[in-house]
Structures are given as C-alpha cells and as structure tokens.
A and B are shown apart, each in its own frame.
Chain A
C-alpha cells in the first residue's frame, strides 16, 4: 500500500489557484522531498493533505484512508510538524508531550514511558519542567518534533523542519528523520534546502505555481540538465577572467577565491586549465569537476518564463 496518494488536488483562494491539479504518490517507507519556491503552494498542499484545509477538488489518502471522508482515522496515521514551532510556550516540554499523547488517546502508563524516551532522545531531559517559552528555537523545534512523533506515526509531514536552526539542532532533526524512517515511517519533507533534499530524499517532487513540474529521484532530475557541468579551479595567485578564454568554455563566474567554469566538455576544459597554468607559471591550488546540481535543476524548473 502507498503511504500517500493524492489525486487532482485543487485549492483556490478567491481568484488565486494555490494548488492546481496536483497528483502524486508516495511509496511506504520512503523519504519524499517536496520542493518549490516561496508561494509555490507547498504549505497549502500539506494543509490539504493533513486535513487542515478542505480541497475544492481532488482527494488525498493517507495509508489508504481518505483524509476528508475519515479525518480522525487518517490523522491517527500521521504526525505533522508545521513550518513554525508550534508548541505551547506556557507548558513544559513534558506537559506538551503528555498533551500530544492524550490527543491520540494513549493511556497514562504508555505516555509516561514515551515521554521519558523522547525527552532523552531529543536531549531535553534536563529542561523537562521548564516552560517551553524559555527554550531556544532549536529546542522548541525538538519539542515540536517530539510531539509529532509521540504516537509513532506511519507518515510524518515536515514543513521546513530545519529552517533557521543551528547546526546541532539541524543534525538532531536530520537524525530523527532517519531514525523515524528506519523505524518504518514514511517521511514527507518540505524544504528550501536543496542540498538537504538531495542527501535525504529518494524521490523529489518540484512544484511551481501550484503545479507539479517534475517528480523523480534527485539523480535523474540532475541528469535532465546534464549540459550544465562545471569545473571549479583556484590558482596560487589571483588571475584575470581573460585567462579562461579557451574552447569549450561556456561561462565563467567568480566563486569566492575560486572560479567556476561552465562547460559541456569538462575533460577538455581541465586539460586547457592545466596547460594554461603551466604556461603562466601558476600553481593550481584546487581543481574539482561538478556534475549538474539539484539546485540547478530546481532553478531551471521553477524559473519565471
């Protein structure tokens, strides 16, 4: 059974069509990336799938259960981490977790056990009784995630979960995503961080203006834009842009203390750069060849006409 099936989902706000006939399928056990520029309709789509909004047309099924026909049963299958930290600031971490458990009808003994487990896993045991409003953004996000996974959901929706977090909190969030996935949960991840989607997700769906513009594995999406390969090079001393006037070089951009050379024939460009460095008595400090990036695919797919 697929974890998530969306068919022809449509949502309009007045004259604006925020979600325009989106259909997609997420297999059980996968980490699915849902990407799009600001205002593309990602959050609206998540709200439609999680039952916060009612669609104008189309259906969304979680673990085979239609969210709008059987919202309670469908919501029992899922956990949601909305974009901004959404925990009660006046309650402690422990109280927030107990509240989540109660919402899912878990008995006290099970809740106590799960609270201990999650506080420990999220590194919150020492601050368990402090009001959440006194926590840092990263700690609040950890409480939010702990609340969402409290009932061990089959499908976990994360809307920009690492946005604005420090490195430690970000790593903890990523580790939690991996752990939940290893335990059998399907992950539906919305992110602006293309690199995060590239390393985490088996399938990526890119939406723009409320429509799906591509859905595939990150590697296959990159290959769609194979022509834009690049060579990054840095020399022992500064060089002018005119140095890169060789055959096969399409475009050159400064990139920190390096130059990024775009080409459709990287081998030829590398040979040219090495020979040119010898001629100019330049030392090559670093030289790396990069294939097409998911970011380039994303930009290409979502750029305005």
Chain B
C-alpha cells in the first residue's frame, strides 16, 4: 500500500468513525482499568463482557435488538455479582458459577436461533469499521457519563479500594461504592462492547492498567498512563488493520499484551527508582536492649 492510498483511507468517513470510536473506548477503559486492577476485578470484567454476549444471543432469539440484550446481560450480571458476592474472595467463585452457566445459555440461544447469528458474533469480535455517526454520538455520551461518574467518586473509591478498613472508619460508604463501581464498570463495558466487541474491551480494560501499575506508583499517573497505553493499542490496532489484511482486534490485543510484558520486564526499576532510599531508618538500639530474651 502506498502512502497516498493510506492517507486517502484516512479521509474516509468509516475510518474516521472507527478511530473516534476506538479512542472513546480506549479512554473509558483506560480510566476504569486501574480501579479494576487495584480491586482485583479482572475476572468480573470477563464475566460481565462475556455474558453481554449471552444477552445479545438471547435478544436475537426473541426478536429484540442485540444491543438491548448486551445491556441487560452485562448490567444483570453486575447486579448478581453485587448481590451475591461483594467481598473479593467469594466474588470470584460467584462469577465463575454465573459465567459458565451464562455461556452455556448463550450456546443454547445460538443453537435455537436457526439463522446465522451474525449480530451476536459481531459483538464478540467487534465491528469497529461499521460504526455510524449515530452510534458515535451514543458511545460518546455514555463514555462521558462513565468518566463523570468516576470523577465524582474518585477519592472515596480510591480510599475504599486501597485501604478499606481505615476508609470505613472514616465514614466512607465502602459497600455502596463497591456496588456503584460494579455498575459503572458494567455500563462502560456494555456500551463499548457494541462498538469494539467483547475481545477488545477485555484487552483495553485490563492490560494497559496492569502495565501502568508496573511503571509508576502514583495513582494519578497510573490512570494517565493506562489511558495512553489503551489509546496506543486501540488507535494503533485500527491503523495497522488499514495497511494489512488482518482485523484491528488482532493488533490491539497484541499491542496491549506487548505493553504489559515490557512493563513487567523493565518497569520495576523505573517504578521504585523514585524515592526509594536505604531501608529501615529505625535505629538498631531497640532490638539490642532485649538481647537473648527477645
């Protein structure tokens, strides 16, 4: 492909729409992601995303818009997780149980639906090159709502996520925030799934945030880095798909995976380099006074 044909592709409306949609999904996922990682909720992200697919299959079967199905599936599962297991230890078992059963239901719906379920499969792998202006507006509006909601609860959510006992003692509504965050996460996923697919939302919501956590120890910088890496993966994936015969999700998942691996391998020096001083400034006097009786 020549440079000229690449730039002319960039002028196409469907490419521009794809880039904007990819950027919105990346920004939303990049902001939600660090909280997902800190709160150990990667598995919940999976459960919600994959049961969005079951919802879509169910909606197709009874003749409804699959997008409605995604919303019902994702938010319904988030509600179940919230009701059955807010504490992380029981939460993963609850998600495992619901996820397996829900995917089984999805298979049943697809089997019963005797036509080829393009709509449902499109939701699995994304149809980013087929985004319309109307969908963009919807995506942008929902994305903005997620970002604003998260900004409003940012401080107490961070407090409750990293230091729940003290947060509770200080009057932070820890349990309500857990459920609120679950709802925000499910909403963010459901709206992004419609555009970028289940697979992409998983790679944009977890890997960039996990990579960012290996690169910096500042909570604010983690969010910014996570957004930057998600944008790199999303936009980079779409641009690479224009010049190759492969779909964007292949490159997006590849880029976020590579970012995580590189951050893990080389991040620790960068991360602890700031402010790490010699250990244990406590004088040794204290232990020596106890001698053999210690």
A in complex with B: no
